[in-house]
Chains A and B, each alone.
Chain A
Amino acid sequence: MNSLNRMFAFTYRNFIFSFRNFFAFMELLFWPVIGLLSVGLMSNFLGLQENYASFILTGAITAGVLQVTQLDVSYSLLYDIWSKSIKHTFLAPVAHYDYILGSWILGIVRGTMVFVIMAVFSVYAFDFVLPPPMITFMFMLGLYVNALVIGMLVCLLVLLYGQRVEVTAWSLATMLMLICGIYYPVNFLPKIFLKLSEFIPLTYFLEYYRSAYGFAPLFSHSLLKGFVLSFVYVIILFYLINYSFERARRTGMILKLSE
């Protein structure tokens, strides 16, 4: 019960931050809609068939949802670092899963809001066709788990290298999206990136969702592979974050981030 309260503390704090800060509003609406509009208008201009248009619109929606959800996980540490209050947070009996999962909960709420806004907008503006609800639900679940992995990776890097790597909160997801074939099938990528994409869960979730538009998937059991890979990464990352936190206590990084 205590741990649930601690998790909720982070959900509560992140909610206030995103409610009171303009940049959080921009993350939620402005950038995702701009991305969607650009891609949607381009597909109209190119006169793409319905399934091809849906293919790339899926990419734009994924980019918006993934970025917003993973940012919330990354913010679990970054809010404290910007406020220089990390010392007080870790003075309390906080476990790593408390702040990561607590922030992820808000990320899921914000990610769902982005999805609903973008999906509705795409359906009306660009005749986007949503796959059946169960497929969409599983895809969204995959996106949230993948966002958790990316956010945890950012937290790990921040604990190891400090505030100078905070830029990864905005750049890491975008880089990974490129490798996962956000607007194109991964077999269009150079061989080395194709190999690399096999290690990223998002590749499988995109494959799974797009198969609903009639595109033959490149990998078998995409959904299963995506979830298994994500689960393995989450376990490894919790272990590494624990290690890097102890290292940060040894090197004084926690205190440096509070100055």
Chain B
Amino acid sequence: MENFGIITENIHKTFHSGFFIKRHTQALRGISLSVKKGEIFGILGPNGAGKTTFLNILSTQLLQDKGKVFILGKELTSHANNELKNKLNMCSGNPNFPWSLNVQEILKFYAMLYGQSFKQSRETADKYIAMFELEKFRKTRYDELSTGSKQRLSLAKSLINNPEILFLDEPTIGLDPDIASKIRKIILNLHKEREITILITTHYMKEAEELCERIAFIKDGQIKALGTRDELLSLTNSKDLEGFFLELA
């Protein structure tokens, strides 16, 4: 267990909706996997496969109905574990942050949420503004930022507590290819420099090929295949991940 950043055992999740007529949607049906410390692990799957639900469970936003989750060797319990939360962070595609705040204030706010003092939070904000080339947007309100800048801000925010585990939920969705490529480079550099364990969901096969050491393919809430890129390709005789995806989806 020591060598693993994330271990999940038989995770199930069903959503219930409707008042008079109850509807039940089974989002996850027994997901078990393990992610090594320092690994970039990808989760692929068609829309509605359960990727984001899975990520939300791992990031403590959602509670599974059945199964166990271990993060850095500690079990996630029904009561969110604040000690663990200090070691996690998340960046999602189409991010949302408090709209009245500008870039600097957003970074300061989240830095303080991770326990930094007002002074420390200002230094942290400055550091990440420089790292993600957000200097000219320092005083720009969140709702006035472009999609690319929002995404960079989201990545900056996700690093503010020096996480050991980083969840990236479609981090390049809706971005121009050049900005998406830049974001991928940033992710790779961060991984190299800090040896963060990264779990990424994506729709882009190129992104998965470029970033991930191992990939799990999820469909209908179940893992249909898991392995390195080459291992996955050998399962279907596909030439690339796109072919593999089309065959399994």
Cβ–Cβ contact A258 & B15, under 8 A: no
Cβ–Cβ contact A92 & B63, under 8 A: no
User: What A residues does B80 contact at CB under 8 A?
Assistant: 90, 249
Within 8 A of A (CB), among B53-94: 56, 59-63, 78-80, 82-83, 85-86, 88-90, 92
Cα distance A249–B63 when bound, in Å?
5
Kindly identify which residue among B114, B142, B157 contacts A93, using a CB–CB cutoff of 8 Å: B114
Distance of B22 from chain A, by nearest CB (Å): 13
* A21 and B117 in contact, given A249-B62, A252-B62, A254-B61 (Cβ under 8 angstroms): no
Query: How many A residues have CB within 8 A of the partner chain?
Result: 36
Cβ–Cβ contact A92 & B113, under 8 A: yes
Kindly identify which residue among B15, B16, B79, B115 contacts A2, using a CB–CB cutoff of 8 Å: B115
Instruction: Please tell me the size bucket of the interface on B.
Output: 35 or more
B110 at the interface (CB under 8 A from A): yes
Q: Footprint of A on B, CB under 8 Å?
A: 15-16, 56, 59-63, 78-80, 82-83, 85-86, 88-90, 92, 95-101, 105, 108-110, 112-118, 121, 142, 157, 161
Cβ–Cβ contact B114 & A255, under 8 A: no
A225 at the interface (CB under 8 A from B): no
Q: Closest residue to B52 on the A side, CB-wise?
A: A255
Which of A80-88, A133-141, A178-186 is the contact stretch?
Answer: A80-88
* A92 and B85 in contact, given A9-B113, A249-B61, A249-B80 (Cβ under 8 angstroms): yes
Number of A-B contacts (CB under 8 A): 102
Cα distance A147–B116 when bound, in Å?
29
Cβ–Cβ contact A16 & B100, under 8 A: yes
Q: Tell me if A's interface is mostly helix, strand, loop or mixed.
A: helix
Q: Closest residue to A7 on the B side, CB-wise?
A: B112
User: What A residues does B79 contact at CB under 8 A?
Assistant: 246
Q: Closest residue to A11 on the B side, CB-wise?
A: B112
Cβ–Cβ contact A20 & B56, under 8 A: no
Q: List 18 A-B contacts (CB under 8 A).
A: A1-B115, A1-B117, A5-B115, A5-B121, A8-B118, A12-B105, A12-B118, A83-B98, A84-B96, A85-B98, A90-B61, A91-B61, A92-B113, A249-B62, A250-B63, A251-B15, A251-B16, A252-B15
